[in-house]
Amino acid sequence: MLSWDEFDKEEEGEVATKGANAGHATEANMDRLDGAGAAAAIEARAVTASDSAAIVRAKAALDKLDVAEGLAELEGSAARVAVDEKRMINCR
């Protein structure tokens, strides 16, 4: 049964697992995943003979797409909300 008394307590088995593999597994897997993702993106954007003219134009537009502006906007919106901002959001 779930209890709010135990909500903030982590299980001991989870703590030991997290401590042993703190950053090693994620760093090793990130390089592999980045390589696999880049290869899949290149393969998906390659123009084939069966592609229609619209698909060829769309793939060309994706090659020219600059995602830096969108990433900067997402990083800016991921910041924590201050108390004053919460009041502004809730006061409608």
Tell me whether residue 13 is in a domain.
yes
Tell me whether residue 3 is in a domain.
no
CB atoms within 10 A of CB 59: 15
pTM of the model: 0.40
Q: At what angle do helices 53-64 and 24-45 cross, to 10 degrees?
A: 140
- pLDDT (tens digit, 9 = 90+) per residue, 40-88? 888 888 888 888 999 889 888 988 888 888 888 887 776 776 777 766 6
Contact 45, 61 (CB under 8 A): no
pLDDT at 88: 63
Structural domain that includes position 65: 9-90
Q: Which position has the token pair 């924590």?
A: 80
Number of structural domains found in the chain: 1
Look at residue 15 and tell me whether its pLDDT is greater than 70.
no
Look at residue 11 and tell me whether its pLDDT is greater than 70.
no
Q: What is the torsion angle, in degrees rounded to the nearest 10, for the CA atoms of residue 23, residue 26, residue 29 and residue 30?
A: -110
Contact 69, 86 (CB under 8 A): no
Question: What does the alpha-carbon distance between residue 59 and residue 47 come to, in Å, rounded to a whole number?
Answer: 7
Tell me whether residue 31 is in a domain.
yes
